[in-house]
Structure 1
Amino acid sequence: MDESPKDIYVVTSLETKAVPSSHPPSNSNGTTRQTPEELVARAIAPIKREFLRPPLPSRTTQNDTASDSNAKQSQSNVVKEKKSKRQLKRERRQEQKSALNLCPEIAKTGDANACPYKDKCRFSHDIQAFMAQKPADLEGECPFVKADAPCPYGLACRFAGMHEHGASAASATANVLKKNSEVNGLSKDVQKLLWKNKIRFTKADAVIKSLGLTGPNWKIKKLIDKEEDEVVLNSSHVADDSVDCSECPPPTLSAADNAQEACATNELRPSKKAKSVVDERCSDEVVDGATVLEKDIEKNSTDTESVHTVNDLLAEPDRSLKIHPREKKLIDFKEKLYLAPLTTVGNLPFRRVCKMLGADVTCGEMAMCTNLLQGQASEWALLRRHSSEDLFGVQICGAHPDTIARTVELIDKECALDFIDINMGCPIDIVVNKGAGSCLLTKPLRMKGIIEAACGTVDKPITVKVRTGYFEGKNRIDSLIADIYSWGATAVTIHGRSRQQRYSKLADWDYIYQCAQKAPSALQVLGNGDIFSHLDWNNHLSDCPKLSTCMIARGALIKPWLFTEIKEQRHWDISSEERLNILEDYVRFGLEHWGSDKKGVETTRHFLLEWLSYTCRYIPVGLLDVIPQRLNWRPPSYYGRDDLETQMASDSAADWIRISEMLLGKVPDGFTFAPKHKSNAYDRAENG
């Protein structure tokens, strides 16, 4: 007798509604198969029977054992081969001089004599040696040429063979194109001032002093005297330093390669660089044969007098001029699709993809305040904004009011943005251990000082992102929600989990509703957690009308077309070919952002693989017995409807690498990859 056709069950709430079949389904081996309700209760994805893979033998095989031993051996080798920062820097300099790194000026023009630094250049000038070792060109068209602009990478471009005019075209038009499409870059002049402690944060220091948040070491006079001593001490070397700078090409942004190491090294310590108070006019620029520093030395007494006069004025600021939070320009988040700031994967190319698919509000990745104040290029890159991001904010994280205030003043001056979000919910140990992130949830007075200092320094709207609390079962945001508004914040996003909980359980939306009910009417409350379909979105907004909107985080990582589903109110049974087209758009945006040379291609590949480690969790709608998919479902091993869909569903890094090779060509020899998030589900991912 033929089996009855299988029903498709639609989940309209947290409970599964289903009509049972005529008899319990059974597997080919005669055992009774669990019903969709039973699978959902165990958080297992109920995939249609015909797509399930047969049970695999035990994973404990000789090959797995050998791979584990090799992995342990490689880890031990990494420990043994640990090198000092000085040695690593020396090796980077040597690599720059090798044939692998052609001088950018020569690469742009194709002329070996184009470099203005000649023999003193840090890079190689041997065009033949560079071309001999350069990998084969990739298939496709250069993203810059496709945009009707000359490629800024010239000979170094991995699409150089496709350039219509070769490498002779200048990069001016391409630079103009990039400036028109991306903003918020850190200028070299400002970066040098940050490096040398020569930016004065007038507004921030005045606000900090007026709020009574100055520490025992916060004395402007001592800092000015110290700076004057340094100027006198170094005045005899100013000319030599300026000569050295003029003879060397601008340094490359090597910090981008060590962004995570930089974050771990700084660990959100209050930076001494950020506390230096000096006139912004101090620089190493040469004017009329003498540096500005030399001219300032001649006017030491006059400058000191004027600085003290300014300080006297700052000691008692006119509080009547302070803008009340209600008078600031507000952003209406009501029912807007808000893409959450996502570490590592929420980069500019990914945000561009989400904008194409329907996102309304975007926010940059979380940036550490101390790193921004130190002028780290890798951290400032997190603030970049694309012209398509019409409603854009940046997210910062810090442990002290003075650090936050100075950072928001600097960002407001140097960046184009619509709002600034302060992260008070980050659960990462390295952040929490230094008093930032979710650690602030245990320190309400510190929260108050940070929010008041930020709101008093800039006119841009200040928003806050928090968790329900620090410890599991000890929620406290409901008791602080009214205070957050009185301190000056215009919106608060509540992630429905505690810091201790991390992502181990479902988000507590009932508690989010409770906080929204207690919030002042003028404070916008946004919910965050486990939104993975338009039904989730609709249910949360209908259950609590006081919620302004819902922030979408991991759901967008797994299926960025979630924004389209919400706007069109449908379940999109997207095909593997359509998903590949989205990945192609991401690669194109990545090459425009990180570059089309060898380094840019591999950087794009790295972030693509990080993203694929999330997208593999998506289960196509047509394969499910129960729709929509829940974020906490664990999928069994299954086949897709075609080979590409099967490959996209794999949790093996080897398959992710093969997908990247479809878009970016073959990986370099010895290439390996392990996802940064280190989820337990992917600890066994092979590198192929």
Structure 2
Amino acid sequence: MEEAPGEVETKVSEEAPSSNGSEVHLKPEELVAKAIAPVKREFLRPPPLRPCSNDAVNGEPVVNKKVVPSNVVTGKKSRRQLKRERQQERKSASHICPEVAKTGNVSSCRFGGNCRFSHDVEAFKAQKPADLDGDCPFSALEGPCPYGLACRFSSTHKDGFPADSLNAQKKSSEINGLSKDLQKLLWKNKVNFPMADAQLKLLGLLGNGNAKKKNLEPHKEEGDQAVLNGSHIGENNDGEIAYDSVEKVDCPQRAKEVEDHVGDSIALDLRPSKKAKTPLIEKCCSSEVESSGLNLQEKEFERSLIQAELETTPSDNCLAETDMCLKAHPREKKLIDFRGKLYLAPLTTVGNLPFRRVCKMLGADITCGEMAMCTNLLQGQASEWALLRRHSSEDLFGVQICGAYPDTVARTVELINRECTVDFIDINMGCPIDIVVNKGAGSALLTKPLRMKNVIQATSGTVDKPITVKVRTGYFEGRNRIDSLIADIGNWGAAAITIHGRSRQQRYSKLADWDYIYQCARKAPDVLHVLGNGDVFSYLDWNKHISDCAELSTCIVARGSLIKPWIFTEIKEQRHWDISSGERLDILRDFIHFGLEHWGSDTKGVETTRHFLLEWLSYTCRYIPVGLLDIIPQRLNWRPPSYFGRNDLETLMASDSAADWIRISEMLLGKVPSGFTFAPKHKSNAYDRAENG
């Protein structure tokens, strides 16, 4: 049952206002000139009192003259500490075996005494936290809850359903999962990429010979610099860099094996992992398959892959004749009309599947998954493949991938096209994160136009899905380069390009340069859709950008959707929505419901949902209700002062303290567990104050 906003008992943590006392008396226009939100004077509150020492206040530690609650952390835990905590958790009674929890029968686990999880049902029940209010998120489906005793809504469960009926229902709502059989083949580098390799060979990126890779970096950098200075890339492939050196063995049936990749495909995994290797071509003889040491189910899956590849892969003798026919004609490719559609940008961490469902419910037309690293996908990492998952409500859905080299990206595109259901594949060439850029991916590709060309041509010629590209204006501030490449990008095979109106060096500071986006859109060929990105925060922003440049297909909504996801409703209804705190809480409730369906209704799923809710609240606190502003609409770069809301809940939602975000999560997901800590992952440099406490 929903609590009335006025009845919510809250105690908003004291936080530093972004404007000092002298700015309170400024006129609204003067505040806007200083990028301070012009909140009506009657809602402003005076700056809170500050402790003058670093001593503890009411038992809580003080950091930089701020009271930091005990459940708010000021730093991240090390990987070793997190691993130790996971190992200790598995040994505890709280980590019950999933099969035992689902059925309530200890003998249902096929591992028996060798299971790494606990089988003590009574001990689990004794320490299990109290059930949460509400119904189980899986109660509407025909079947039992897949989490059984571990579900935090187990008191609402109904008995008498077959044990496997829910799995089919759950699979129908979410697709693009990674099967165990495919994951094992990826681990062992035994997946074939015939279309990608044929296209790479056609482009001269796969060599025929035993020669080792030559050091052609000086030549490549010379060509890149020529393009950066304004000249265009020629259509011939002379002088292109051969990233691979592969020996092919002529055989009437098929090439038996290729050498390991020379080493250009570098792993961009942000976590420690085994070194990425290029997959080996499978051997066709049944005796070799039998001796591979695979179990029966895996052998059958492997044989089916081999049979499918044998039917679609051209032989070496006729490869030369069919190379020119491999690339689909532009008219044969599936096309997407982006014009006028509301596109939710791929957003790291917060742009998860439950959040995208919320945005679809509020009017988004196109959704795109979070950026996934190519090398991690080729390694079969389940956490990376989870970023490709799609809900049935996402009727126009794409995935975004990031890689440094054409062979890695092309093989990833073929794998996604083969295993997933997507409408388009977006290649990120604008990510500014250091660990990505230092590996040659993301924004680093903006300094290497020849490699950009190879990546786009290799991927667009491998699959018939539309290939889109996301870029920034350039790498360095004041040195925009995309306008000199925009015509070539269309000729290389990209169906659309998203231009974020900032450079890599600029990150998210200053406003986006929409005049430059318009300039690029006017230079683009007719076959290339141009999508603008940057600071779209109201329907007026949307209308202005669309009307100012007829060549612009649409505008992408990114951070604006994190702060107010109802922006899609505002654009479609052409109004400023003075949304109430109760309506905002209902949106958070929908996210919680979608999150429990996606991450699970057991304790682990509840806390995962809470974590992503808190990450999202670190953005929503920046929203200022329309009724509190002297000038509307709110701009994305405005710093909100310290103010009171129109009721207690609205005041709580305006707090930028992590302690208050935790209080909001407890209203929806119950009390946090003992020892709970949270530190927001993202900290925007567009705001002066710290977000954590």
The answer to whether the superposition gives a TM-score over 0.5 is: yes
1:377 maps to 2:374: no
Whichever residue aligns with residue 211 of structure 1, its letter is L
Q: Which residue of 1 aligns with 2:116?
A: 122
Seen in structure 2, the aligned counterparts of structure 1 residues 448 and 142 have a Cα distance that, compared at 3 Å, is: same
Q: Which residue of 2 aligns with 1:406?
A: 411
Q: Which residue of 1 aligns with 2:446?
A: 441
1:48 maps to 2:40: yes
Please show how residues 335-414 of structure 1 align to structure 2 within 5 Å. 335-414=340-419
1:622 maps to 2:623: no
Q: Which residue of 1 aligns with 2:486?
A: 481
Please show how residues 397-476 of structure 1 align to structure 2 within 5 Å. 397-476=402-481
Deviation string, structure 1 residues 120-159 (Cα, Å, up to 9, x no partner):
2221111001111111111111000134542100000011
Distance 2:488 2:258 in 1: 40
How far 1:30 sits from its partner (Å)? 11
Seen in structure 2, the aligned counterparts of structure 1 residues 671 and 368 have a Cα distance that, compared at 3 Å, is: same
Distance 1:83 1:103 in 2: 25
Seen in structure 2, the aligned counterparts of structure 1 residues 32 and 181 have a Cα distance that, compared at 3 Å, is: closer
1:205 maps to 2:197: yes
1:67 maps to 2:62: yes
Aligned with residue 640 of structure 2, among 635, 655, 665: 635
Unpaired segments ≥5 residues, structure 2: 1-20, 208-212, 214-243, 261-266, 305-309
Distance 1:294 1:647 in 2: 55
- Stretch moving more, 217-226 or 206-215: 217-226
How far 1:410 sits from its partner (Å)? 0.2
How far 1:314 sits from its partner (Å)? 4.0
How far 1:426 sits from its partner (Å)? 0.4
How far 1:106 sits from its partner (Å)? 1.1
Deviation string, structure 1 residues 450-485 (Cα, Å, up to 9, x no partner):
000000100000000000000000001011000000
How far 1:220 sits from its partner (Å)? 4.6
CA contact 1:201–1:406 (8 Å) conserved in 2: yes
Seen in structure 2, the aligned counterparts of structure 1 residues 293 and 395 have a Cα distance that, compared at 3 Å, is: closer
Q: Which residue of 2 aligns with 1:590?
A: 595
Q: Which residue of 2 aligns with 1:277?
A: 281
Q: Which residue of 2 aligns with 1:186?
A: 178
How far 1:225 sits from its partner (Å)? 7.2
CA contact 2:339–2:553 (8 Å) conserved in 1: yes
Q: Which residue of 1 aligns with 2:522?
A: 517
Distance 2:110 2:612 in 1: 34
How far 1:111 sits from its partner (Å)? 1.2
How far 1:67 sits from its partner (Å)? 2.3
Distance 1:332 1:308 in 2: 32
Tell me the TM-score normalised to structure 2 length. Answer: 0.82
Q: Which residue of 1 aligns with 2:129?
A: 135
CA contact 2:410–2:458 (8 Å) conserved in 1: yes
Please show how residues 151-230 of structure 1 align to structure 2 within 5 Å. 151-165=145-159, 169-214=161-206, 216=213, 217-221=244-248
How far 1:164 sits from its partner (Å)? 2.3
CA contact 2:144–2:158 (8 Å) conserved in 1: no
Distance 1:341 1:528 in 2: 11
1:263 maps to 2:273: no
Whichever residue aligns with residue 446 of structure 1, its letter is R
Seen in structure 2, the aligned counterparts of structure 1 residues 228 and 261 have a Cα distance that, compared at 3 Å, is: closer
Distance 1:556 1:31 in 2: 29
Q: Which residue of 2 aligns with 1:101?
A: 95
Distance 1:63 1:538 in 2: 52
How far 1:679 sits from its partner (Å)? 3.4
How far 1:359 sits from its partner (Å)? 0.1
How far 1:97 sits from its partner (Å)? 4.0
Deviation string, structure 1 residues 162-211 (Cα, Å, up to 9, x no partner):
1122xx74442221121110000001110000001110111111111110
CA contact 1:210–1:317 (8 Å) conserved in 2: no
Distance 1:623 1:328 in 2: 50
Q: Which residue of 1 aligns with 2:660?
A: 655
Whichever residue aligns with residue 510 of structure 1, its letter is D
- Superposed CA RMSD: 3.4
Seen in structure 2, the aligned counterparts of structure 1 residues 679 and 134 have a Cα distance that, compared at 3 Å, is: same
Seen in structure 2, the aligned counterparts of structure 1 residues 604 and 171 have a Cα distance that, compared at 3 Å, is: farther
CA contact 2:374–2:401 (8 Å) conserved in 1: yes
- Stretch moving more, 665-674 or 206-215: 206-215
CA contact 1:452–1:487 (8 Å) conserved in 2: yes
Whichever residue aligns with residue 277 of structure 1, its letter is I
SS of residue matched to 1:464 = strand
CA contact 1:198–1:277 (8 Å) conserved in 2: yes
SS of residue matched to 1:212 = coil
Relative to its length, the structure with more helix (as a share) is 1
CA contact 1:284–1:292 (8 Å) conserved in 2: no
SS of residue matched to 1:394 = strand
CA contact 1:263–1:371 (8 Å) conserved in 2: no
How far 1:318 sits from its partner (Å)? 2.9
Distance 1:352 1:340 in 2: 13
Whichever residue aligns with residue 354 of structure 2, its letter is P
Whichever residue aligns with residue 152 of structure 2, its letter is R
Distance 1:31 1:684 in 2: 20
Distance 1:497 1:655 in 2: 33
What is the identity percentage for the equivalent residue pairs of Structure 1 and Structure 2? 68
CA contact 1:195–1:273 (8 Å) conserved in 2: no
How far 1:678 sits from its partner (Å)? 2.6
Q: Which residue of 2 aligns with 1:325?
A: 330
1:36 maps to 2:28: yes
Aligned with residue 676 of structure 1, among 672, 678, 681: 681
Tell me the TM-score normalised to structure 1 length. Answer: 0.83
Distance 1:193 1:95 in 2: 30
Unpaired segments ≥5 residues, structure 1: 1-28, 230-259, 297-304
Seen in structure 2, the aligned counterparts of structure 1 residues 129 and 618 have a Cα distance that, compared at 3 Å, is: same
Distance 1:672 1:181 in 2: 32
Distance 1:602 1:407 in 2: 32
Whichever residue aligns with residue 512 of structure 2, its letter is A
Whichever residue aligns with residue 584 of structure 1, its letter is R
How far 1:683 sits from its partner (Å)? 6.2
